[in-house]
Structures are given as structure tokens and as C-alpha cells.
Amino acid sequence: MKGAGAESWKYTNLAPAHSVAWAVPDRGAPAIPPAPHPVCGRIVFHNGFFVENASFLPKGMRFTQDIHRSMPAGKDEPDSFIADMNAAHRQDSLTLTVSAGVGARDPLEIVFLAQGETPLRLAPRLSIVCETGASLRFIERHEGAGTTLSAICVFLDLRAGSCVDHVRIQGAANAAYLLETTHIHIDSGASYTGFYYTDGARLSRHQVCATLDGPRAQAQIGAVALLRATQTGDLTTTIRHAGPGARSSQSVRTVLGGRARGIYQGRIEVAPGADGTDARQQSRALLLSEGAEMDTKPELNILADDVKCTHGAATGSLDAGALFYLRSRGIPEIQARGLLVEGFVSALLDESPEQAAHAEIRARIERWLGAEREIGS
């Protein structure tokens, strides 16, 4: 597992994964649980293999296997470690094409199920092409059990005027290592909205690399992570403003209990000629215990004029005044802490336009807080 020694891996320690004897999974006949929400279609990967009989698509979407666009990894990514690992151990690869005029009522669900009774190394890959003017809403879900090391590559190609609303729910198993790159190309007038929720995995890194490649291209990313015990959650983004007049925003909220570690590395690049760029980035972290740690690294590389670029990062603990205020109204301390944590992340959740996943994410936050109470953190 070489390559993870690079600068962008400074805060995320993959060393414990080195000592595990990773095996290659078999393509079995797994039982796939049904989707928890109404969906218009479903794409299921189980242990890195595409499960065709559990997958279906609505009219206007089609998939092809084993045809991958060669997107050179490494050129505009902070590093190509995950992509290289995926290429070296590649399992199934799928391309989903969304035609214009598809307007399904319910979102598409994309499931990455990882079940490692013995430690397994997984490397699936998915490309999604949103044709000119098309729109897609999808929920990407990571779950499973046992010990797995996933290196997943997802490519999103938003052609001119298309629109993608992406919700990612990362609830991987406690012993899972989950590495994923989301590579997003956004053409002129296209719009990407991403909401990433994370509470799973022993160690996770989500590397997002979005290129805004024309006028009025937009990317809006919200990320909420709740981590406890010895979990590590790493969000590393690179937003490239390659053309003029594009807008991007990133809001990250991280809640850390126990000895958990949160990492947010946000890089904004504004290429020469990308005038009129509007790029915003904000990270706020809440430390619930003394052993928790947040590492934030903003990076701006601006090579154009007439650019609006803002970034801010803050890390703190729960507001003692607010806690006292709630308790003085009769709300027990543990419940009051829960309300404050929920309040801290819910502002972001409300901004996400994809409503189908809201109730599920709220329930996950509730559950997380409940477990946090039990261990009295």
C-alpha cells in the first residue's frame, strides 16, 4: 500500500490497514435488502461486484458494463492513491447514462454493500453521464458488515445545462476502511448539489474533485460527519474553477466525540481566465470530548482576476451558555447536549434540496446521539 505517504495523507493514517491480509472476494449470490425509500431505480454493488438482478432503471436511464471513459486520475486530484488502488484491483465497472427529459418522482439509489466475513479488498467503479439538459437525483449509500477495504471511484459527467442532486450516506461497518473518489466534471450552465453524511467506517476518506468548466456552472457541497471512538473521517476536496463565471460553495460540519479524528482539506483552484469566479468554503467542527481532534487545511490557488473567494474554519466545544440556558428550562444535560449537536448540523441538512433522505439522515443523527449518550461522552 504505497503512495499514501503523500502530503495530502498527512492526517489520515492508513497504516493499520497494512497489517491486514486482504483477500479478493468471490462473486456470490448475495441477498440484497430492499431500498428504505421509494426509488425510481437502483444500482447495487455487492463486495465490488455489480448485482444485476437487484438493479433496475427507469425509462431514460441505461447502463453499460465495462465501458469506462478514461479519465486521467492524478492530473487534477490531490493525489491518485485511491484511483491507483482501484485500477490495480478493479472489479466491476459500470457506466450509467441519463438522457434529457427524465424527471422521475423518486430518486435513484446507488448502493455499495460491503460484507467481509474475512477481510476483503473491494474496487468497484461507476461512471454517470448526465446528457445535455438532463437531471438526476440520486442517493449513494455505503453500508455492510465485517472488515473491508474499499477503493471506489465514481465519475460524474454533467453535460451543459444538466443538473445533479447527490446525497451520500456513508454508514459503513465499524471495521471498514472506505476510500472513495468522486470525480465531477460540470459543464457550462450545469449544476451539482452534493450532501454528504458520514457516521460509518473505522477510517474513511472521501476525495471530491470537481471541475467547473464553463459559465454559470455551479457546485454546492454540504457535508456533515458525526464520528466517535477512534473513527477517522477525512473529506478532501479540490474545486477547480476552469472557466469564467462559475460558482461553488462548500459547507462542512464535523462533530467529534471520543478520540475521533476529523479531517477537512479543501482546495480551491481558480485557473487563469476564470474571471467572475465566486467560491466559498466554510468548515466548522464541534469537539465533544478532550480526546477528539479536527484538522482543517484550506488551500486557495487563485490565478485569475475579479475573483470572489472566501474561506473560514472554526473548531470549538459546546457553548456553555447555551447548555445552561437549555438546562435552566428543565432539559436534562444529556438531552440538552443532543439538541445543541442536532442544531449544529441541521442547518446544513435543511439546505440540501433532496428531501427523500432527510428523515433517514435525521434518524441516523438521533441514533448517533443516543449511542453517544450511552457511552456518556
Partner 1 sequence: MLTIKNLHVGVSGKDILKGLDLNIGPGEVHVIMGPNGAGKSTLAYALAGREGYDVTQGDVLLDGQSLVGMEPEARAAAGLFLAFQYPVEIPGVLWSTFLKTAVNALRKARGQTEIDALGFLKMMKARAEALGISDDMLKRAVNVGFSGGEKKRCEALQLSILEPRLAVLDETDSGLDIDAMKIVAGAVNALRGPQRSFLMITHYQKLLDLIAPDRVHILSGGKIIRSGGPELAQHLEEKGFAGVVA
What is the contact surface with partner 1 in residues (CB under 8 A)?
319-322, 324-333, 335-336, 339-340, 342-347
Comparing CB distances to partner 1, the nearer of 279 and 349 is 349
Alpha carbon 291 to chain centroid distance? Answer: 25
Q: Residue 348 Cβ, how far from partner 1 at the closest point, in Å?
A: 9
Cell of 71: 479519465
Whose cell is 433517514? That residue is 360
CA terminus-to-terminus distance, the chain: 34
Comparing CB distances to partner 1, the nearer of 205 and 253 is 253
User: CB-hemisphere CA count at 13 Å for 353?
Assistant: 14
Q: How many residues does the chain have?
A: 377
Q: Residue 326 Cβ, how far from partner 1 at the closest point, in Å?
A: 7
Q: Residue 60 Cβ, how far from partner 1 at the closest point, in Å?
A: 38
What are phi and psi for residue 361, nearest 5 degrees? Answer: -65, -40
Comparing CB distances to partner 1, the nearer of 97 and 315 is 315
Distance CA 63, CA 61 (A): 7
Q: Residue 149 Cβ, how far from partner 1 at the closest point, in Å?
A: 35
Q: Residue 286 Cβ, how far from partner 1 at the closest point, in Å?
A: 11
Comparing CB distances to partner 1, the nearer of 183 and 337 is 337
Q: Residue 324 Cβ, how far from partner 1 at the closest point, in Å?
A: 5
Comparing CB distances to partner 1, the nearer of 14 and 345 is 345
Comparing CB distances to partner 1, the nearer of 72 and 321 is 321
Q: Which amino acid is at 276?
A: G
Buried/exposed 105-134: b ≥16 CB within 10 Å, e otherwise: eebbbbbbbbbbeebbbbbbbbbbbbbeeb
Residue of 81, 63, 152 lying closest to 112 (CA atoms): 152
Q: Residue 223 Cβ, how far from partner 1 at the closest point, in Å?
A: 16
SS3 content of the chain, % helix, strand, coil (to 5): 15, 45, 40
Comparing CB distances to partner 1, the nearer of 176 and 345 is 345
